[in-house]
């Protein structure tokens, strides 16, 4: 007994030292981010809040230079990709927080909003649309706003466009970044591109993996394999096409340095990192076809498309844009030096579109009916 205790005490002490060191390091990183991104305007807002949507506790980060500015709700991708980690790149680096009250929402099952107690049966597209609508109504009441702006990227563009379709009166405009239009066709093109790139680069391991999973539809395990290789090849493609290195971020450092996350939050995320994608990349997802389900929109619509986006291939978005009936205006904007993340890859252009086009021309109801560039 004495010998066992003599072993356990050093192990426990080492664990405590490790945890304390990690905690101190995290606070150092977080304090640096806070200092670099603090909001000092007298009417500014920087608020992390827990709310209840659809009976589930979820978290929103609200930031902006003035609470009187128009509200913009940002719907993240994934599904299940933590948003708070990159919120300041959207709001601070792209300067959107100077012009909007930015609302960054981590959807049920994602980031700080993950809980192992979330009912699996609630992880449906319909529930996410309901959560989005409920949040929009809360924001309109909170900020006394007749309408807000809605931005959906990648996975978030699904729940975004369906919510805007059902409730156009609640929004000044809808913006789709990496818009998903036809899920099955999207993944077929993405797979074929990844397979052809693997062959061109002579990557035998990638070819073997991709040939084993075959073309879609996929379950989440097969999807992860295809997206892993597409991510690797996207770095090479972007360097070839633009002459710039594809930005590679250390996700662990990003998580640690995010002021909204505690170490407990990060550990919770690691319990089941594929929780959302496991339940949402399913038959319901592969039935999405906006050509049939959303042929018309009764509000201004903007599509921001990366020229080299093969996660959500822009050729499908362009085709949908051409077919879409949008009497209040439709807009398709190419980002010529971007892949799947134009808001990060061409920040200045993203700012120009969001502030000088979406905000100024839409909120003043002074927009052309058709803008193609």
Catalytic, 340? Answer yes
Order the strands of the 330-335 sheet from edge to edge: 45-53, 56-64, 101-106, 71-75, 148-153, 171-177, 301-306, 330-335, 370-372
What's the full length of the chain, in residues?
373
Catalytic, 265? Answer no
Pairing assessment for the beta strands 101-106 and 56-64 based on DSSP bridges: antiparallel
Given the residues 76, 133, 331, 340, the one annotated as active site: 340
CA distance 173 to 42: 28
Q: For residue 189, give both structure tokens.
A: 């093109």
CA of residue 13 relative to chain centroid, distance: 40
- The torsion angles phi and psi of 48, rounded to 5 degrees, stand at -100, 120
Catalytic, 279? Answer no
Strand ranges (E), the chain = 45-53, 56-64, 71-75, 101-106, 148-153, 171-177, 301-306, 330-335, 370-372
DSSP state of 245: P
Given the residues 131, 187, 265, 309, the one annotated as active site: 309
Q: For residue 174, give both structure tokens.
A: 């809808």
For 162, half-sphere exposure in the C-beta direction (CA atoms, 13 angstrom radius) is 22
Contact 302, 353 (CB under 8 A): yes
Long-range contact set of residues 315-322: C-beta below 8 Å, sequence gap at least 24: 315/189, 316/181, 316/182, 316/185, 316/186, 316/189, 317/176, 317/179, 317/181, 319/181, 320/179, 320/181, 320/182, 320/290, 320/291, 321/372
Task: Compute CA distances 157 → 40, 57, 162, 254, 311, whole Å.
Answer: 32, 22, 8, 24, 13
Contact 143, 71 (CB under 8 A): yes
Given the residues 99, 133, 154, 187, the one annotated as active site: 154
Residues known to be catalytic: 154, 309, 340
């Amino acid at each position: 007994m004495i010998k066992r205790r003599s072993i356990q005490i050093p192990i426990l002490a080492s664990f405590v030292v490790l945890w304390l060191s990690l905690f101190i390091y995290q606070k150092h990183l977080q304090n640096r981010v806070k200092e670099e991104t603090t909001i000092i305007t007298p009417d500014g807002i920087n608020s992390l809040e827990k709310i209840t949507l659809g009976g589930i506790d979820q978290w929103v980060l609200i930031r902006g230079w003035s609470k009187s500015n128009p509200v913009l709700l940002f719907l993240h991708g994934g599904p299940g990709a933590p948003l708070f980690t990159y919120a300041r790149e959207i709001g601070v680096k792209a300067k959107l927080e100077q012009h909007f009250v930015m609302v960054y929402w981590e959807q049920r099952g994602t980031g700080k909003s993950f809980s192992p107690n979330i009912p699996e049966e609630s992880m449906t597209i319909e529930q996410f649309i309901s959560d989005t609508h409920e949040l929009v109504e809360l924001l309109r009441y909170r900020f006394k706003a007749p309408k807000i702006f809605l931005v959906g990227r990648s996975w978030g563009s699904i729940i975004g466009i369906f919510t805007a379709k059902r409730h156009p009166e609640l929004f000044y405009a809808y913006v789709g970044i990496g818009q998903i239009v036809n899920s099955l066709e999207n993944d077929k093109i993405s797979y074929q591109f990844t397979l052809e790139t693997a062959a061109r680069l002579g990557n035998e391991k990638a070819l073997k993996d991709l040939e084993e999973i075959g073309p879609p539809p996929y379950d989440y395990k097969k999807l992860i394999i295809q997206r892993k290789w597409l991510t690797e090849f996207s770095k090479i493609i972007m360097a070839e096409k633009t002459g710039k290195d594809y930005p590679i971020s250390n996700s662990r450092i990003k998580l640690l340095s995010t002021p909204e996350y505690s170490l407990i939050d990060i550990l919770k995320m690691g319990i089941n990192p594929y929780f959302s994608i496991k339940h949402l990349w399913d038959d319901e997802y592969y039935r999405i076809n906006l050509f049939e389900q959303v042929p018309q929109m009764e509000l201004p619509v903007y599509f921001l498309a990366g020229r080299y986006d093969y996660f959500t291939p822009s050729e499908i978005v362009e085709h949908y844009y051409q077919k879409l009936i949008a009497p209040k205006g439709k807009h398709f904007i190419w980002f010529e030096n971007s892949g799947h993340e134009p808001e990060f890859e061409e920040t200045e252009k993203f700012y120009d579109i969001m502030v000088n086009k979406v905000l100024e021309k839409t909120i003043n109801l002074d927009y052309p009916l058709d803008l193609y560039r």
